[in-house]
Amino acid sequence: MHAVLALETSCDESAAAVLSCGDDGRPEVLASRIASQVAEHARWGGVVPEIASRRHVEALPGLIEAVLEESGLAPRQLDAIAATVTPGLAGALMVASVTGRTLAALHQRPFLGIHHLEGHLASVRLADASPEPPYLVLLVSGGHTELIRVDVTGSMDRFGRSHDDAAGEAFDKVARLLGLGYPGGPAIQKAAEGGDSQRFRLPKGRISLPGGGFHPYDFSFSGLKTAMLRTVEALQKVEQPLPVCDLAASFEAVVADVLVERSLRCAQDHGIGELVMVGGVAANQRLRTLMQERGRHLGVSVSIAPLAYCTDNAAMIGAAALERLRNGACETPLTTGVAARCPLEDASRLYQGQPAF
Ligand code: KG4
Ligand code: ZN
């Protein structure tokens, strides 16, 4: 059996969790807490990095104390202490990283620096029945929209990505345009409930190929964002108040449609029978339902991270750490810092005995 304490402060959620796993490798969450700063950042319409770092410093010690107590484990019973070290806001990442490394040194436990996206990928392992690779992952968050094939050895290939905004970023920007506040995803989902998703025809955003035609699995959301702006500008001249619910529903529908269509096509084209969906946008109810329905129709089995572990949390960081422990990865040197950017393909550099950055 392995047990880990995991910390996450890469953006605007401070989080700590304790997880264990037995010989079957299935992670179990013994305790998980999140202190969200959303309300504070909402005043500014987005995350203010300086405020985020300060709030993490205030919140993290209490969260750690609470999850350790709830789990019934003492620090010396942990097999490792894990913290997100990349990518994210550098000052925010620093809080979990320094805290994790300090606790590791103090209690003489190994430290594991985790790649935030490795955490999102591992979040599907927290579902009751999680699939085993090979599978195709649609990672849709505030910073990423990517289609990644994970093979049996755990190695990854990227088949698709967004060329501009991530899907979550598009939700946040369109919510601001519609006066729905931050974070945009949940606000748009709520407004869309009472709206007509067929009312506005919006573009699906395709990426042209040099030799003609379009990239089958890449995404673009900037044209859609502009189309929303033009639609709002035109409506403002003729319809007051704005039909916010219809606008939100039409936007949500086209984003869900494009994500589902290209992901399933990619899975089918490559003969992959299993699709996994993770990340903050995977919390979207319309997207979850549509992906399940169309997957069933096309014979692709769909697994989605549990709702509670789609948006940022520390349990997913713990799940990634447990997987690394199981695979016998080296601990991360305590001299490793943080990095605002680092491609997912480089995540294994964190476990090779040399500081990656
Ligand atoms: O994974 P996450 O918590 O943070 C990143 O790593 O980026 O994702 C946050 C993103 C935000 O853009 C937020 O608007 C979006 O996920 N999001 C949603 C929903 N809940 C969160 N988007 C659509 N529908 C939702 N229900
Ligand atoms: Zn995230």
What domains are defined for the chain?
2-122+312-351 (3.30.420.40), 131-304 (3.30.420.40)
**119 ligand 1 Cβ < 6 A:** no
**331 ligand 1 Cβ < 6 A:** no
Q: What is the pLDDT of residue 46?
A: 86
Per the CB < 8 A criterion, the answer to whether 247 and 275 are in contact is: no
Which segments of the chain have a pLDDT < 50? Answer: none
- Give the residue whose CA is nearest to atom 26 of ligand 1: 284
In which element (H, E) is residue 84 found? strand 80-86
**141 ligand 1 Cβ < 6 A:** yes
Q: Ligand 1: distance of its center to the CA of 298 in Å? A: 27
**172 ligand 1 Cβ < 6 A:** yes
- Residue 32 three-state SS: strand
In which element (H, E) is residue 145 found? strand 145-150
Q: What is the pLDDT of residue 101?
A: 98
Q: What is the pLDDT of residue 41?
A: 92
Q: Ligand 2: distance of its center to the CA of 312 in Å? A: 5
Q: What is the pLDDT of residue 285?
A: 98
How far apart are the C-alpha atoms of 268 and 295, rounded to whole Å? 10
Would you give the DSSP letter of residue 133?
S
How far apart are the C-alpha atoms of 344 and 141, rounded to whole Å? 14
Q: Which residues surround ligand 2, an ion (CB under 5 A)?
A: 141, 312
Q: Ligand 2: distance of its center to the CA of 208 in Å? A: 29
**87 ligand 1 Cβ < 6 A:** no
Most distant pair of Cα atoms in the chain: their distance: 67
Q: What is the pLDDT of residue 335?
A: 96
- Atom number, ligand 1, closest to the C-alpha of residue 183: 14
